[in-house]
Amino acid sequence: MSDKPHQNLAVIGHVDHGKSTMVGRLLFETGSVPEHVIEQHREEAEEKGKGGFEFAYVMDNLAEERERGVTIDIAHQEFDTDEYYFTIVDCPGHRDFVKNMITGASQADNAVLVVAADDGVAPQTREHVFLARTLGIDELIVAVNKMDVVDYSEDTYKQVVSDVTDLLKQVQFDTDDASFIPTSAFEGDNVSEHSENTPWYDGETLLESLNSLPEPQPPTDAPLRLPIQDVYTISGIGTVPVGRIETGTMNTGDNVSFQPSDVGGEVKTIEMHHEEVPSAEPGDNVGFNVRGIGKDDIRRGDVCGPADDPPSVAETFTAQVVVMQHPSVITAGYTPVFHAHTAQVACTIESIDKKMDPSSGEVAEENPDFIQSGDAAVVTVRPQKPLSIEPSSEIPELGSFAVRDMGQTIAAGKVLDVNEA
Ligand code: GDP
């Protein structure tokens, strides 16, 4: 275990803009993927006629292993810089990347946005930036990638920087909290070393930028909240739920409760990075074992908390939402899927209580008949199945969500109040 501060990093951006390749490159350049593994993938890639794609290939293989549930640690890729220990909180290259992005972004402290120089701002660039902003990403490092494809043209770089800056302003992301770097994940330009191909750029490399990110906010003194990501059965140990501690601490011997499954018991063992540990804290990705809990008692989307201060289960909740894109209008009765931490639950928007003026935050209209793209509103929501969620003012880590329908993220928001079941 590293004693450097943790950073949970999301890597976001439009499909094919180079996220996987960039992550592979980062792991490779920081020595986090053993040379023999790269070598093996390189040979495999060449055999399959994909020579030169070994970095993306590494990522694909990790994703596949994760899906097969081979080990519990591979769910997250990790590397460190001089300052920080980084965990990449989602797995680019994964088929359900956007879905992962939603749960991933809510857990990430900072993000790298990859924008291909030859394609510029694309639909998922917008979607991911919007989510990053709504779900509370602090700083954005924008890698203007595939610079090799545009012959390292400074003009093209400047155009992309200007377009991304406009996008950030649109979603009210403070552009002081964004930095831009011309990169080629494929060739390795400005990732760990300053590139001779971009003599017009004298800013930081990607690794330098990662190194100079601000330290994540100290954890709140909120009680333990650990959204369950997966539940494994490991021979010799038994049922092992895994997930990231959002708030509070977990110690062996603690009495815990899983909600909404409503089961509990005593924590027997906690494992992190292949080692048994007596306790774990916010930001730690852990697997643990609870006396008396079987594989079918709990599931992804449950939240683990102290038995004497269990996670809230909402009968209804009120929330502030921002509608990003919807082909028509949203009215009361609409039932899309809400993604909150690791849970996905269909929820009915029972009433639209207030429409807000997004720039001033003032109420623009009481009880509007509908809301549409660009609108901010306060709504009352009824989950169709039990959902554990918390007021954002009390536990912000468990108080945000994204709303998806028809394969798109249509809105995102924060929980104001929870009416417990
Ligand atoms: P993702 O969908 O965003 O994860 O994109 P990938 O990392 O899978 O990359 C998509 C394609 O672009 C792959 O064929 C990569 O080899 C290629 N690619 C990624 N980064 C670069 C780059 O910097 N330069 C060039 N020329 N190709 C790149």
* DSSP per-residue string spanning 58-85: HHHHHHHHHHHT--SSTTSEEEE-SS-E
What average pLDDT does this structure show over 321-340? 90
From the alpha carbon of 14, which atom of ligand 1 is closest?
Answer: 3
For residue 113, what is the domain's CATH number?
3.40.50.300
User: Are residues 229 and 205 located together in one domain of the fold?
Assistant: no
Residue 127: give the domain boundaries: 4-210
Does residue 217 lie within any of the structural domains? no
* pLDDT cut 70: percent of the chain above it: 84
Does residue 400 lie within any of the structural domains? yes
Instruction: Please tell me the least confidently modeled range out of 125-139, 237-251, 381-395.
Output: 125-139
Among protein residues, the one with the nearest Cα to ligand 1's atom 19 is 18
From the alpha carbon of 21, which atom of ligand 1 is closest?
Answer: 7
What ipTM is given for this predicted complex? 0.99
Q: Which of 252, 284, 304 is the last residue of a domain?
A: 304
Q: How far is the CA of 50 from the centre of ligand 1 (A)?
A: 12
CA atoms within 13 A on the CB side of 75: 23
DSSP classification of residue 10:
E
Tell which wins on pLDDT, 326 or 304. Answer: 304
For residue 276, what is the domain's CATH number?
2.40.30.10
Question: In this structure, what token pair is assigned to residue 54?
Answer: 């070994």
Q: How far is the CA of 89 from the centre of ligand 1 (A)?
A: 20
356 is in an annotated binding site: no
Would you say 226 and 303 are in contact if contact means Cβ atoms under 8 Å apart?
yes
265 is in an annotated binding site: no
For ligand 1, whether the C-beta of 173 sits within 6 Å is no
User: Are residues 275 and 344 located together in one domain of the fold?
Assistant: no
What is the per-residue pLDDT across 365-389, written as a single tens digit (0 to 9) for each?
Answer: 999 999 998 788 999 999 999 999 9
Does residue 282 lie within any of the structural domains? yes
User: Are residues 353 and 374 located together in one domain of the fold?
Assistant: yes
Q: How far is the CA of 20 from the centre of ligand 1 (A)?
A: 7
Asked if residue 396 has a cis previous peptide bond (ω within 30° of 0), the answer is no
Counting the structural domains of the chain, the total is: 3
Q: How far is the CA of 135 from the centre of ligand 1 (A)?
A: 26
pLDDT bracket for residue 333 (50, 70, 90): very high
Question: In this structure, what token pair is assigned to residue 240?
Answer: 């092992």
Q: Which of 281, 304, 327 is the last residue of a domain?
A: 304
369 Cα distance to chain centroid = 33
92 is in an annotated binding site: yes
Ligand 1 pocket: which of 186, 189, 198 to mutate (most atoms within 8 A of CB): 186
What is the per-residue pLDDT across 345-357, written as a single tens digit (0 to 9) for each?
Answer: 999 999 999 998 6
Would you say 259 and 383 are in contact if contact means Cβ atoms under 8 Å apart?
no
Among protein residues, the one with the nearest Cα to ligand 1's atom 25 is 146
Residue 279 φ then ψ, to 5°: -155, 165
Instruction: Please tell me the least confidently modeled range out of 136-145, 221-230, 299-308, 400-409.
Output: 400-409
User: What SS3 state is found at 54?
Assistant: helix
Among protein residues, the one with the nearest Cα to ligand 1's atom 2 is 16
pLDDT bracket for residue 280 (50, 70, 90): very high
User: Are residues 315 and 255 located together in one domain of the fold?
Assistant: no
What average pLDDT does this structure show over 96-105? 49
**pTM of the predicted model as reported, rounded to 2 decimal places:** 0.68
Does residue 325 lie within any of the structural domains? yes
Mean pLDDT rounded to a whole number for the chain: 85
Does residue 218 lie within any of the structural domains? no
Residue 52 confidence (pLDDT): 54
Residue 75 confidence (pLDDT): 38
Q: Which of 146, 177, 210 is the last residue of a domain?
A: 210
Question: Above 80 in pLDDT, residue 70?
Answer: no
User: Are residues 236 and 291 located together in one domain of the fold?
Assistant: yes
Does residue 408 lie within any of the structural domains? yes
Does residue 135 lie within any of the structural domains? yes
Q: How far is the CA of 411 from the centre of ligand 1 (A)?
A: 29
For ligand 1, whether the C-beta of 227 sits within 6 Å is no
What average pLDDT does this structure show over 178-191? 94
Would you say 247 and 220 are in contact if contact means Cβ atoms under 8 Å apart?
yes
Among protein residues, the one with the nearest Cα to ligand 1's atom 9 is 18
What is the per-residue pLDDT across 200-228, written as a single tens digit (0 to 9) for each?
Answer: 999 999 999 999 999 887 666 889 999 99
